[in-house]
Amino acid sequence: MMDPTKQEMLDVLHDYAIQQGIESNGSMFEWWSEEAVYWFANHYHGGQWSNLYRILSTSPFRPGCLSVGPDDEVADEFYELLVSRFGGATDE
């Protein structure tokens, strides 16, 4: 699994949004992106010295106490894109 920076992930999401015809400069895109990036970092960080762990501590997104992943359909789509692009738990 890779340890992407937040900017690398946002760039992938921005390009994808353009391809899908999703408004990529609005507040909803920002919200969906922050949620997707947060959950990817939460599920796949490699410890406190990793880029992904750093994202968790600086993210403006704060999930509800019962949340375990993206709650929004578009954020979930973005999250799945990040998993496919940067790897998940099964990749080493």
Give the single-character DSSP code of 92.
Answer: -
31-85: per-residue pLDDT in tens?
Answer: 999 999 999 999 999 999 999 999 999 999 999 999 999 999 999 999 999 999 9
Q: Helix H segments across the chain? A: 6-20, 27-44, 51-58, 73-86
pLDDT of amino acid 25: 83
The reported pTM is 0.91
For residue 56, the Cα-to-chain-centroid distance in whole angstroms is 10
